[in-house]
Amino acid sequence: MNGEEEFFDAVTGFDSDNSSGEFSEANQRLTGVIHVDTSKSNGIGKVGDGPPQENGIQKHRTSLPAPMFTRSDFSVWSILKKCIGLELSKITMPIAFNEPLSFLQRITEYMEHVYLIHRASRQPQSLERMQSVAAFAVSAVASQWERTGKPFNPLLGETYELIREDLGFRFISEQVSHHPPISAFYSEGLHQDFLFHGSIYPKLKFWGKSVEAEPRGTITLELLKHKEAYTWTNPTCCVHNVIIGKLWIEQYGTVEILNHRTGDKCVLHFKPCGLFGKELHKVEGYIQDKR
C-alpha cells in the first residue's frame, strides 16, 4: 500500500486490509455524511432495486454525490519541488489532487459515446467504418479536457463492473499491476456486435509547472460482424499550472488507428496549444487505404 492510499484510509476511516469490507467506527463518526431516506424516493425505492421508468430504462445519476472543494488552499510546491523529472507514480501526492473516483471507474468513460461503435458496425464500407472508429477514439479522451483531478489508484486485484442495457454494452476493468500501475479492461456489446479491450499504463512526470501523462498500452476494438480489429494508443495528456494559476489541460501527439484486416489507416494529430493557445483541443487527421 502506498502513502496516498494510507492517507486516504486515515481520512475516510476505511480499513482496506479488512477482508469483511466493512467500514471502521472512525468512518461512522465522520461529520457531513448524507443520510438518504429511501422511503421517499419518488417511487424508485432502494438503489438498484427500483422499477424501470416508462421508457424501460433505469435511472442513472448525472453527478457525483459530493461537491468538489477548491485546491487553491493547498500549497503543493513544498512536495513537488523535489520531484522534477521523476515518475509521479512513486511519489505520495496530496489528497487535494484527487477526484472521488477510482481509475477503474474513470476508464468506463471511454464508453460514453458507444453509439459510434454501433454506427461503425452498421457501415457497409471499410473507410466509413474507419471514420466512426476514429470519432470514437477521439471521443474516448474528450472527457479529460476539463478534468484536472487525479483519480485514486486502485488496489491490486480490484475490479469494477458496469452493465448498461440501455446503451448495449457490459464493461469490466481490473488493476493487474501495482508498481507500475497497470489497468486492464474488457467490454462487449450485448448484441455480440463488438469487443473493446486493452491495458493502460500512464507514465506520469512532473516538469516544474506541469504534469505530463504519457500513455502506454494498446487499445483494441473488434467489429465482429466484419471480422475487423482496430488498434491505437491514446495521445499524451498534460496538466498545466499545478503550482500556481488556473489548471488547464492539453492533449497532443499523433494517434495512428490501424485496421488489421484491410490495412486501412487513420492518422490523427492532436495539436499542441502553441504560444497563444489557438490550436488548443484541435484535432486534424486523414484516412488512407492500403494502396
Spatial distance between the Cα atoms of 133 and 109, rounded to a whole number of angstroms: 16
Q: Is the pLDDT of residue 136 over 50?
A: yes
CB under 8 Å to 98, separation ≥6 — which residues?
A: 4, 8, 149, 150, 151, 152
pTM of the model: 0.72
Residue 228 has pLDDT above 70, yes or no: yes
How far the first Cα of the chain sits from its last, in Å, is: 52
Q: Sorting pLDDT into bands at 50, 70 and 90, what band is 82?
A: low
CB 265 within 8 A of CB 258: yes
> Which pLDDT belongs to residue 2?
45
The predicted structure's pLDDT at residue 204: 79
Answer with the residue of higher pLDDT: 196 or 272: 196
User: In angstroms, rounded to a whole number, what is the distance separating the alpha carbons of residues 147 and 145?
Assistant: 6
Dihedral over alpha carbons 9, 10, 13, 14 (to 10 degrees):
10
Question: Looking at the predicted structure, is the pLDDT value of residue 118 above 90?
Answer: yes
What average pLDDT does the structure give for the chain? Answer: 77
- From CA 110, how far away is CA 134, in angstroms rounded? 13
Q: How many CA atoms lie within 13 A of 40 on its CB side?
A: 3
pLDDT at residue 245 is higher than 60: yes
Mean pLDDT over residues 221-235, rounded? 96
Q: With bands split at pLDDT 50, 70 and 90, how would you rate the model's confidence at 57?
A: low
Residue 155: closest CA among 11, 14, 13: 14
Q: Which amino acid is at 147?
A: R
Reported confidence tier of residue 52, pLDDT bands at 50, 70, 90: low
Tell me the CATH class for 98-288. Answer: mainly beta
Answer for the pair 214, 202: CB distance below 8 angstroms, yes or no. yes
CB burial readout 98-121, b (16+ within 10 A) else e: beebbbbbbbbbbbebbebbbbbb
**Closest alpha carbon to 285 in 135, 151, 146:** 135
Q: Which residues pair with 229 in a beta bridge?
A: 222
Non-local (6+) Cβ contacts of 83 within 8 A are 91, 206
Residue 238 · residue 250 · CB < 8 Å: yes
In the structure, what pLDDT confidence band is assigned to residue 53 with cuts at 50, 70 and 90? low
DSSP assignment, residue 188? Answer: E
pLDDT higher at 52 or 218: 218
Q: Determine the residue type at 229.
A: A
| β-sheet bridge partners, residue 239 | 211, 249
Residue in the structure block whose three cell numbers are 450485448: 190
pLDDT for res 243: 72
Which residue from 96, 94, 99, 93 is spatially nearest to 71, judged by alpha carbons? 96
| pLDDT value, residue 199 | 94
